[in-house]
Chains A and B, each alone.
Chain A
Amino acid sequence: MSVDSSPVQVTGGLATRSRGRPDRRWLTLVPLLAVLILLFVVPLGTLLADSFGGGQGFTLDNYREQVTSPVFWRAIRRTLVIAALSTVICVVLGYCMAYALTRMPKRLRGVLLVVVLVPYFTSILIRSYAWIAILAPNGLVAGTLKLLGVDSPPELVFNQTGMLIGTVQILLPLALLPIYSVMSGIDRAPVRAAQSLGAAPAVAHWHVYRPATSSAVLAAAALVFISTLGFYVTPALLGGPGDTLIAQSILVRFSNLVDPAGAAAQAALLLLIVLSLFTVLFRYLAPSLAVEPSGDARPARRADRGERFDALRALRARVLDTGLGLAGRLRLPILVGSWVAGAALLVTPLVVVAIWSFSDATYLTFPPEEYSTRWFADYFADTAWLDSTFLSLAVASASAAIGVVIGGLGAFGLVRGPRRARPPIAILVAMPMIMPPMIYSLGFFLLVAPQGLVGTPLGLILPYVVLGLPFAVSITAAALRNLDVRLENAARSLGAGPMSVLRHVLLPALRPALVSGFVFAFLAAFDDVVVATFMSGPTAVTLPLRMFQDIKLEVSPRTAVVAVVLLGAGAAAVLLRFVMAWLVRTIRVALSRLGDS
């Protein structure tokens, strides 16, 4: 090769990539898109098709029937009311708790974050079940009230009150965590500036600090509201017989009334509500779903609107002043109170479950009258329970592993692939996370029931892959975005092929993200009751489903035992990780010492 001054030679260094192979990184998106389309979009399509009559020709009868049914409307109204109430409570409480967190010493902050995170990672089923032990007529609260001389305690569970308490407890971390993450990045200097300019602390907070959190607050509200719309387990366990929410109503249509088309129509209507909300709130939700926001996530700016409303404005200001004055004076009680209430709400269920698992009784009394480990012995001797445990572990691990591989590849394609494809794909990926599981499960069932997948492990694994994918993709994509693309380019320029780049650059850097993606995907599957309700068969009952059915039958300490076993296993896994890391370090040090001498 002659090394003279041809123009190609001059730009050679820069031209390497385009002169080599064309950029094929988008190919890594293919498995992700294939899975999402085949296992997510098609089932929803099936659901819609069946709601319009399916193979029997187009009809609106199914919708007509639902829309004219007062029972259905009552379920919708009840759902919206519960969702609105839990949203308000979660967001207000979460806001106060998150703000208190940012104002406390680091050490305490760490402890309190654990108080939030441990319940967050604990199964929804177990947490809902714990509330029965707390709120039932011979549970913790009633017992305490009796000790205090209140003989007829209020009914707190198997009604909408219990449902609301359970829902708030479960969704509080979902509101608190995104608000906290935004708050911890807020500069306090403007708040001080506002104070120096004459604003009392609460006034400065309102005018300067709060606006900086408004996107996060809206996002949290949207997440809580949309999640509550699809809630099934908690209302089913804590609500009364007449308190069905929309997700239960769908299931009742499907299994009790054996009307799959009617159920599909109800599901489609719920889907419509969820999708409209999602569309309206997308720009606030985007950051919490780890989707790249398409536009400015800031609330629209309002320009000065002239002086015509001075009188109105003055009135508003007066009301605001009074409120903020009060809030300013009660600042400390409000913040401390929010944590007392929040921590009690979050932690009590876990403590109660732990104690209850050692109860000797066969029915619900809390605190237990006598203690024993008989329910543990019972669990470990019962092959049906053990089978379910192993089935759930296997199914959740398999789906999480598949999810991490497909999701990891997809995340790479999403972040490094063609820019224009990003927003639609990101939205598609986020969908399963906000989709009420009742809608999706029904659609999936309708699609695969004819294929004989129901009751097989594969029939469980496939939808679980879909449920886990959003976590795997969003966590890996976030890590990839923080990873300097020049690292990969440098490796390539040094002669590394795609496989070596993957092995030597990407995998080591992304390992923590892949691991946490796996954990989240695993938990999404391991926690599920709804998919299992449709897809389990006589020989394949998942652990959560078995627990759910057991609780519906009679409220015994058995589920508490399972919860303690699972929590113990989780804690042991975390502990083992630290011990292993410590061992490896110690051995390395010892070896290097040996080498030195």
Chain B
Amino acid sequence: MSEVSEGVQAMDRAMDRAMDGAATGGEVELDGLTKKYGTVEAVRGISLNIRRGEFLAILGPSGAGKTTLLNMLTGFEKPTSGAIRINGRDVARLAPHKRGIGVVFQHYALFKHMTVAQNVGFPLRMRGMSMREQRSHIQHALELVKLEGFAARFPDRLSGGQQQRVALARAIVFRPALLLMDEPLGALDKRLREHMRVEIKRLQRNLGATVIYVTHDQNEALTMADRVAVMNDGVVEQLGTPDDLYERPASAFVADFVGETNFFTGRAVLDADGRIRVVLDGDRPEHRREVENAASLRPGSGVEVGVRPEEVSLLPPEHAEHDQAPAVLGTVSDVLYEGATALHVVETPIGDLSARLSLKNLRETRWAVGDRVAVHWDARAARGYPAADRAS
């Protein structure tokens, strides 16, 4: 018993010596970070703060600058301008090996000629830890990723998911204050990906590490992250909690990229009551619709209105003039059965739109192709964006 606790204490002392005592999550501050490749601006003046122990996902389409941003954090690219502070210390000019950041690479980047244990022990060895001291840390890290029995194997004798976990163990074994992951689950199949999400999340909570997690996959971002930064074209379009992002997208781009959205074009008008409403192209001119986010619209200018498919309901056509929110009449042109839901494509004067109806809704009335329907949505579910807003 005492032997064990002594061992643990010795391990912690060794760790603290090696890691400057940085045991838990670091605070990261990006300040006007910019990277230019020739004339291409891959990252354009990004400023954001990441809190101690936070899980931040960076979500964005291909070419958005995610990897470039990560490479500046790890030190493989020098910023053209701007600062990176980790726990208040500017690291922008520090060499990669002096930053003490744990990185999980997209294709794991394991050392093929080393065993799992040697892979995981590498950062410890680089910190001058003796073999004896390394052993317990390696053991502990492998336990965390549930690979206890695999220490003596070589990486090419492991499955994709196991390799991924070795990469993870290697990145956390030296208890970095900051853990970066560039699409760490990109190469795994769907089930394994979902399993690993839970594992990574659990690990992060146990370690209390700050994590920056780059992904293409919005589900990954929304389910794992405390906050998500949506990147596009070198800038952060929106930084917020997953529900912020989904329910209150700040731009048409975010609305489009995160989840699905029906977009309608229209024009903002200033009503007699001093409120800004929207007339949709193709709609009856007397239908002046209320939208969320109306304050950002300029009267007379073009507008895009986004409505999520699950916010759209379909009613029999006789309900067209229903309450205060006017309906649009249309014809069902396609029904795609999805299991728990069914996606209905409807042709209307304001454009084609989709409505995702739950089976519960459908129990009363089922719609078939060719049916006339009245399309409704709640005014609080429609968000307006200035038309020039969208970059792509």
Contacts and interface: CB of A to CB of B under 8 A. Distances in A.
A314 B152 CA distance: 22
Contact of A189 (B105, B130, B131): B105
A199 B128 CA distance: 11
Interface in A240-295: none
A192 B97 contact: no
A213 to B, nearest CB: 11
Interface stretch (B107-115, B324-332, B341-349): B107-115
A197 B170 contact: yes
B236 to A, nearest CB: 24
Given A204-B97, A310-B130, A196 B117 contact: no
Contacts of A203: 97, 126
A4 interface: no
A193 B123 CA distance: 10
Contacts of A161: none
Contacts of A299: 113
Contact of A196 (B102, B111, B112, B130): B102
A313 B126 contact: no
Contacts of B106: 189
A198 B130 contact: no
A547 B127 CA distance: 62
A273 B95 CA distance: 49
Interface string A191-216: 01111111111011001100110000
Nearest to A190: B109
Please tell me the size bucket of the interface on B: 35 or more
B76 interface: yes
A201 B109 contact: no
A423 B37 CA distance: 50
Contact of A201 (B97, B112, B117, B118): B97
Given A196-B74, A197-B174, A198-B126, A189 B107 contact: yes
B103 interface: yes
B109 A192 contact: yes
Nearest to B122: A197
A413 B280 CA distance: 74
B105 A193 contact: yes
B118 to A, nearest CB: 7
A588 interface: no
B143 to A, nearest CB: 18
B105 A192 contact: yes
Interface in A199-237: 199-201, 203-204, 207-208, 211-212
B106 to A, nearest CB: 8
A576 to B, nearest CB: 39
Could you say which of B117, B118, B126 has the most chain A C-beta atoms within 10 Å of its C-beta?
Answer: B126
Contacts of B118: 304
Contact of A197 (B75, B107, B123, B152): B123
Interface string A558-575: 000000000000000000
Q: Majority SS of interface residues in chain B? A: loop
Contacts of B102: 196-197
Given A195-B97, A197-B123, A198-B97, A301 B154 contact: yes
Nearest to B104: A193
Contact of B131 (A187, A190, A204, A313): A313
Interface in A301-323: 301, 303-304, 307, 310, 313-314
Contacts of B130: 307, 310, 314
A190 to B, nearest CB: 5
A298 interface: yes
B100 interface: yes
Given A197-B126, A303-B152, A192 B96 contact: yes
A307 B113 contact: no
Contacts of A196: 74-75, 96-97, 99, 101-103
B95 A200 contact: yes
A198 B131 contact: no
Interface in A334-369: none
Nearest to A308: B131
Nearest to B100: A198
Contact of A208 (B111, B170, B171): B111
Contacts of B126: 194, 197-199, 203
Given A196-B96, A198-B100, A198-B123, A307 B109 contact: no
Contacts of B132: 307, 310
Contacts of B167: 193
A93 B105 CA distance: 32
Nearest to A314: B130
B131 A212 contact: no
A313 B125 CA distance: 12
Interface in B237-291: none
B109 A195 contact: no
Given A208-B111, A307-B132, A194 B117 contact: no
A303 B97 contact: no
A190 B110 contact: yes
Interface string B57-91: 00000000000000000111000000000000000
A200 B97 contact: yes
A198 B174 contact: yes
A193 B95 CA distance: 13
B171 to A, nearest CB: 8
A304 B96 contact: no
A307 to B, nearest CB: 5
Contacts of B174: 197-198
Contact of A194 (B76, B101, B122): B122
B112 A212 contact: yes
A196 B75 CA distance: 8
Contacts of A212: 112-113
Contacts of A201: 95, 97
Contact of A199 (B76, B97, B154): B97
Nearest to A309: B131
A207 B107 CA distance: 19
Contacts of A310: 130-132
A203 B111 CA distance: 14
B115 A304 contact: yes
30 contacts: A189-B105, A190-B110, A192-B96, A193-B111, A194-B111, A194-B126, A195-B75, A195-B95, A196-B74, A196-B75, A196-B96, A196-B102, A197-B102, A197-B103, A197-B171, A198-B127, A199-B97, A199-B122, A200-B95, A200-B97, A201-B95, A207-B111, A208-B111, A212-B113, A299-B113, A301-B154, A304-B115, A310-B130, A310-B131, A310-B132
Which 10 pairs of residues, A with B, have the shortest CB-CB distance?
A198-B126, A189-B109, A193-B109, A197-B123, A196-B103, A195-B96, A211-B113, A190-B109, A195-B97, A199-B126
Interface of A: 187, 189-190, 192-201, 203-204, 207-208, 211-212, 298-299, 301, 303-304, 307, 310, 313-314
Given A189-B109, A203-B126, A298-B113, 5 more contacts: A193-B105, A197-B126, A200-B95, A204-B97, A310-B132
